[in-house]
Amino acid sequence: MTASSVAARSRARAGGRAIRVTGFVIVAVLAYMGLLFVSFQQSWLVGTSVLPPDRALPLALQQTINALSIGAIYALIALGYTMVYGIIELINFAHGDVFMIGAFLAVVLTGGIFGQSGDVTNIPFLAFLLLAALLFTMPLTGGLNMFIERVFYRPFRGGNRLAPLITAVGVSFILQNLALVVAGSGDRAAPQIFPLEWQIPVGGAEISVLSIFIFALAVVLMLLLQGFVTRTRLGRAMRATAQDQQAASLMGVDLNQTIALTFLLGGALAGAAGVVWGLRFGFVRQDLGFNAGLKAFTSAVLGGIGNITGAALGGFIIGFVENFAVSLGFSRWSEFVVFLILTIVLIFRPTGILGQQLGDRA
């Protein structure tokens, strides 16, 4: 078999996979919408706020889009967890705080340097601002994550697995405290430069353009990541290192560089998530990273930790689950439901939805 025919076949297989994944995503989103639509009409679920079908459908659509956008944020953070876990088997507890720093940096840029405080309706300027925020935040959070790895995790490499876990939480405390000292406690307003009034009216509900933007941005970043990991030399080095560090280094892979790169990419994605967090929720706080990080980590585990597709899938599932609880008026119980789902999934699939059996390491 010639090399070109192998390449052609793998391209064809990749094409088939893309179609299957897209089909699955569409089916899943429609199924979720259907579920919401039906749930909105159940009096035993929503009590007195039962909606008639003609109002339930647009609302279901609106909530589905919201779920996709929050899921996208979780998925972006989860990718960093899963990549780091895949490569050095460390639960990087500081990752959520890197995301938090990203959210703060975006506020510093848009609010501080560009002096924006609200809607920017001039589309080219808005695009410039968003791009600037991403280009400012992503390298910095990526660099921060890389620095954390270099200073706090690398000394432990290859030995003890619990010590770096404690260090990771220690780093998380340090980052939170720094943010607390610099920005003060309590919510700080984040400039929502993306106009929230931009909505597409559908029936009685409005679909937020911002949510669509967040989802689209996340999908683009994930495709870029996927492309990087599967198509480039460095990506191949990353996968090889994740599979077997010793063998990879014997094949000439520079472990330090590859692991640093993994942290860089994970941090950059968390930074992007931080940028859109501020746009969507309009506030930043120093303990933001803990909850978001916990849910993102849950997403990564749910999808099968170490698996990039799994992290994205898990992020969206958590987004859906949380949105489901919130839409039906159980927002206080959303975390409970998230962990309940995690428990149920792990009972039946102990390695997550797409994960494969790992060795016994505690």
Partner 1 sequence: MSAPAVRWSPGGFVPPETRARIRAFSDAHRSMSILVAMSVVSLLMILLPHVPPLSFLSTATPWYDSFANAGTFMLLAMGLNIVVGLTGLLDLGYAAFFAIGSYAYAFSNSPFSHQNLPFFPMLIVGAAIAALFGIALGAPTLRLRGDYLAIMTLGFGEIVPIVFLNLDKWTKGTNGISGIYRPEPLPILGEFTPITSFNYMVVMLFVVTVAMMLIYRLQDSRIGRAWVAIREDELAAAANGINTVVTKLLAFALGATLSGFAGVFNASKLTIVSPDQFYFTVSFTVMAMVIIGGMGNIWGVAAGAFVVYMIQAVLLKQVNAIVELLNVPAFNLGPIQVNLGAINFLEYQYLLYGLALVAMMLKRPEGLFPSSARRAELHTIVAPEVATAVGALGETPGADEDLGGDPGEAVP
Say if residue 151 is exposed, middle or buried (CB neighbours under 10 Å; 0-12, 13-18, 19+).
exposed
**Phi and psi torsions of 352, nearest 5°:** 85, 175
Which residue, 127 or 163, has its beta carbon nearer to partner 1? 163
22 lies in the binding site for partner 1 (CB under 8 A): no
Strand partners, 283: 189
CA 214 to CA 241: how far, in whole Å? 31
For residue 334 the two structure tokens come to: 């959303």
Q: Which stretch binds partner 1 (CB under 8 A): 72-80, 206-214, 218-226, 337-345?
A: 337-345
For residue 288 the two structure tokens come to: 């933001």
CA 254 to CA 187: how far, in whole Å? 42
Which residue, 65 or 259, has its beta carbon nearer to partner 1? 259
Binds partner 1 by CB under 8 A, chosen from 49, 117, 122, 256: 256
CB of 256 vs partner 1, minimal distance in Å: 7
First to last CA, the chain: 44
186 lies in the binding site for partner 1 (CB under 8 A): no
Q: Which stretch binds partner 1 (CB under 8 A): 55-63, 113-121, 128-136, 333-341?
A: 333-341
Binds partner 1 by CB under 8 A, chosen from 190, 296, 301, 326: 301
Q: Which residues contact 239 (CB under 8 A, 6 or more apart)?
A: 229
Residues numbered 75 to 134 that lie near partner 1 (CB under 8 A) are 85, 89, 91
CB of 326 vs partner 1, minimal distance in Å: 14
Q: What is the largest CA-CA distance in the chain?
A: 67
Q: What is the CA radius of gyration of the chain?
A: 21
172 lies in the binding site for partner 1 (CB under 8 A): yes
147 lies in the binding site for partner 1 (CB under 8 A): no
Cα dihedral sign, 148-352-328-45: negative
Which residue, 233 or 332, has its beta carbon nearer to partner 1? 332
352 lies in the binding site for partner 1 (CB under 8 A): yes
The answer to whether the CB of 191 falls within 8 A of the CB of 107 is yes
Binds partner 1 by CB under 8 A, chosen from 64, 110, 167, 327: 167
Contacts with partner 1, residue ranges (CB under 8 A): 85, 89, 91, 152, 154-160, 162-167, 169-174, 176-178, 180-181, 245-247, 249-250, 255-256, 290, 294, 297-298, 301, 305, 332-333, 335-336, 338-340, 342-343, 346-347, 350-352, 358-362
